[in-house]
Chains A and B, each alone.
Chain A
C-alpha cells in the first residue's frame, strides 16, 4: 500500500504538517532564559531549535495513526502570564486533601502563573527537594541542570521539544541517597482557562536506596469557548535499590488537548510502581515508557481509564528490558461510554543479552456503548533467549446475562451496570494502595454512569 502512495501526497502531508507547526503562536522570546544557569539556558535553547525544526506528528506514523490532531487550534494557545490564575476558575480545594495516607510530607500546587509549595522540614534537612520547576531552576540549578532531558530527550517529538523549550510549570523531586520518605508527596497542576497552553516538566530523581511515594494530578474544570492545551514531559530516575511509587491522575476538562512524553528509568535492583488514572481530557496522547536498565530491576505499570462523550485517549506504552533478570508487569483497564475512543498500543522489548527477563502486559476494555470503540494492540519484540513474555488484550461488552442476574435480585438496571463496571475495575483498584485515589476514581465512575443509558 505504501508503495502505491504517490510521492506527491507524502509531500503534501508534510507541508500541511508544517503549516500546523507554524500555527503555534509561540516565539523564541517565550523561552525562559533570563536569570537561569547557563546549562539550563543551553538546554532550553537547543530544545527550541528542535521544536522549530521537528515536524508535527505525521498521521501516517504508526504512533499517530489512530489519533487525529488536525482539529487542534494551535494558533489559539498562549502561555499563562504571571498571576494569571487570579482571573481564572478558582482551584477546586477538595483536590488538595490527601489521596494517599493521612497526611502529606509535602505538597506542590501549580497554578497558571503561580505556585504554592510546602515540604516537611526534616525532609528539607535531609536534602530532599520537592518544589516547583521555577523555584528549582533558581534554588537548585546544579541538581536540576544535570538531570534535565536525561531521561526523555527533546528530539523525541514535536511535543517533547515543545515542553523542554517552553515549560513554565512543573515539579522537581529529588530524594538523596538512602532517604526513605514515609508519608506521600502530592502535587497538583491546576490548568483552568481557555486558549491557554499549560506546559509542564516533571523531573523525579530517586537516588540509590531511597524510597518515596508520589502522587501527581492534572486537573481543570470543563470550560466553553475553545480549547486548552497541556503538553508535558515526565522524566523519572529510580536509582539502585531504590523504590518509587508514582501515581498520576488526569482529570482534565473536556476541552483540553493533552500530549505527554513520560519515561521511568530504573537502575539495578530498583523498583517502580507506576499508576495512571485518566478520566478527563478531550484528546490525550501519552507516551509512557519503562526502561529497565539495571540488572534485577522491576517495574509495574497499572492504568485505569473511563471515557465518555467525545473523549479520545491514546496510550503508547513501552516496557524495555535492557538488562538481565528484569521484570515488568503492565495492566491497563478501561471502560468506554458514548462515542469515546481509546487506543492502547503496548510493546515489550527485550534487548539482546537481557536474559531471564519476565515481561507481562494486558489491556482490558469494557465497551459500554455501541458507538464507543477501543483498539488494543499488544506487541512483543524479543531479542534475547531464556525470557518469559506474555500479553493479552481484550475488548468486550457487558454480558446481558449478568445484568439479568443482578436485576433478578432487585438491583435496578443502571445500578447493575455500575456494579459490573466497578467490578471490572476492581482488580486494578487492588493494585492501588491508596483509599483516596480509589475513592476519586469511584466518584468519577458514579458520575459518568449517571448519564449512561444505552
Chain B
C-alpha cells in the first residue's frame, strides 16, 4: 500500500460542538470505499474537514497523504495535492461560466505543480471539456452557463462529476452525489465515476442508498454513527443496512459494549 489517504483519530468541532469523535479510516488509491450513516452523523463534516473548510476545527488527529499531514495545508493546496470533494450542496458562482471556472481551476493546479506552466491552450481545453461533457451526457451549452447558478439538483451533481473528470484528482470524496439524481442521471454519473476509476484514484462515496453502490461497486463499506466509524465490511454490509436499517448496527454496538 504505497499511496493512501490515512485518517487517524480525527476529532473535529463545529461551533464548539464535537461532531467527529475519533475517526480512523484508510483509503488506498485504486479502491472505492463507501461511508453510510444516519443523518447528522458527521459524514459531511468529515468531507469538509478533509477539504479544509475553515468552519471545522480540528481538535485532534492527522490526515496523511503523499507524506504530508494535509490538515496543515490550505484548501487550494490540498486540491493541488490531488484531493477533490464533490459537494453535497454545490455553491453557485453567478457570472462565472463553467468553462471559465474549470479552465481557471485546471491552470491553477497545473501552475501549482509546475511554476513554469503556461496554462492549457484554449483549443486543447475546449477539446478536453467537450470530451468530458460527452462522457456525462451533458449538452455542450452547459459550459457557457454560470456555475451552479440556477442549476437543477441533478445538474449540480453532474457538474461536480464533470469537475472531477477535468481535474483528475487522486482522492475523490463524493458527498451524496447520488441524491437528487433520477435513475438515468444516476447511471450516467456512476458510469462517469467508473470511467475515472483506476490504480491512481481512490474514491470515498458518502451515501444513504445502496442503489449507487450497485453501479459503483465499493471495495469497502464503512458505517459511521455519532462521529465514529463503527463498522467496516465488504459490499455486503451495504446490502445488510439497506435491509435492516441502522437500528441493527446500533443494537449490535450495544451488544458489543455490553460484552466489553
Residues of chain A from 16 to 39 with CB closer than 8 A to chain B in the complex: none
Binds A, one of B17-25, B84-92, B186-194, B244-252: B84-92
Is A405's CB under 8 angstroms from B104's CB? no
User: Total interface residues on A, using CB and 8 Å?
Assistant: 24
Residues of chain A from 401 to 438 with CB closer than 8 A to chain B in the complex: 401-402, 404-413, 415-416, 419-420, 422-427
Residues of A within 8 A of B90 (CB): 405
Query: Is B115 interfacial (CB-CB < 8 Å)?
Result: no
Interface centre among B75, B92, B96, B105 (most CB of A within 10 A): B75
Chain A, Cβ-Cβ closest to B77: A410
Residues of B within 8 A of A82 (CB): none
Docked pose: A405 CA to B96 CA in angstroms = 13
Chain B, Cβ-Cβ closest to A430: B95
Chain B, Cβ-Cβ closest to A423: B95
Contact flags B90-106 to A (C-beta < 8 A → 1, else 0): 11111110001100110
Residues of A within 8 A of B80 (CB): 410
Is A408's CB under 8 angstroms from B95's CB? no
Interface centre among A402, A408, A424 (most CB of B within 10 A): A408
Is A410's CB under 8 angstroms from B109's CB? yes
Is A415's CB under 8 angstroms from B96's CB? no
Docked pose: A416 CA to B100 CA in angstroms = 12
Contacts A410-B76, A424-B94 given; does A405 touch B108 at CB 8 Å: no
Is B75's CB under 8 angstroms from A408's CB? yes
Is A419's CB under 8 angstroms from B79's CB? no
Q: How distant is B99 from chain A, measured CB to nearest CB, in Å?
A: 13
Is B91's CB under 8 angstroms from A399's CB? yes
Is A423's CB under 8 angstroms from B108's CB? no
Query: Is A400 interfacial (CB-CB < 8 Å)?
Result: yes
Query: Is B163 interfacial (CB-CB < 8 Å)?
Result: yes
Contact flags B64-84 to A (C-beta < 8 A → 1, else 0): 000000000011101110001
Contacts A404-B75, A423-B146 given; does A409 touch B93 at CB 8 Å: no
Residues of A within 8 A of B167 (CB): 409-410
Docked pose: A399 CA to B91 CA in angstroms = 10
Is A401's CB under 8 angstroms from B76's CB? no
Is B95's CB under 8 angstroms from A426's CB? yes
Contacts A400-B54, A404-B53, A405-B90 given; does A411 touch B96 at CB 8 Å: no
Query: Is B51 interfacial (CB-CB < 8 Å)?
Result: yes
Is B53's CB under 8 angstroms from A419's CB? no
Docked pose: A318 CA to B168 CA in angstroms = 52
Docked pose: A410 CA to B92 CA in angstroms = 17
Out of B53, B79, B146, name the residue touching A410 (CB < 8 Å). Answer: B79
Q: How distant is B149 from chain A, measured CB to nearest CB, in Å?
A: 9
Query: Is B241 interfacial (CB-CB < 8 Å)?
Result: no
Residues of A within 8 A of B146 (CB): 423, 426
Residues of B within 8 A of A416 (CB): 76
Contact flags A152-169 to B (C-beta < 8 A → 1, else 0): 000000000000000000
Is B96's CB under 8 angstroms from A412's CB? no
Docked pose: A420 CA to B149 CA in angstroms = 13
Residues of A within 8 A of B74 (CB): 407, 413
Out of B76, B92, B100, name the residue touching A412 (CB < 8 Å). Answer: B76
Contacts A407-B76, A410-B108 given; does A422 touch B95 at CB 8 Å: yes
Q: How distant is B50 from chain A, measured CB to nearest CB, in Å?
A: 10
Contacts A405-B90, A423-B146 given; does A411 touch B95 at CB 8 Å: no
Residues of B within 8 A of A423 (CB): 93-96, 146
Residues of B within 8 A of A425 (CB): 95
Query: Is B112 interfacial (CB-CB < 8 Å)?
Result: yes
Q: How distant is A435 from chain B, measured CB to nearest CB, in Å?
A: 16
Is A412's CB under 8 angstroms from B108's CB? yes
Chain A, Cβ-Cβ closest to B146: A423
Docked pose: A427 CA to B97 CA in angstroms = 12
Contacts A400-B54, A412-B108, A415-B108 given; does A407 touch B79 at CB 8 Å: yes
Docked pose: A349 CA to B51 CA in angstroms = 52
Docked pose: A412 CA to B90 CA in angstroms = 18
Docked pose: A412 CA to B112 CA in angstroms = 10
Residues of B within 8 A of A426 (CB): 94-96, 146
Is B108's CB under 8 angstroms from A419's CB? no
Is A405's CB under 8 angstroms from B87's CB? yes
Residues of B within 8 A of A420 (CB): 93, 96
Docked pose: A65 CA to B71 CA in angstroms = 51
Contact flags B4-44 to A (C-beta < 8 A → 1, else 0): 00000000000000000000000000000000000000000
Give 13 pairs: A residue, B residue, CB < 8 Å, sorted on A: A401-B91, A404-B91, A407-B52, A408-B76, A409-B79, A409-B167, A410-B76, A411-B105, A419-B93, A420-B93, A423-B93, A423-B95, A427-B95
Rank and list the top 3 A-B pairs by shortest CB-CB distance, nearest first: A423-B95, A410-B79, A426-B95
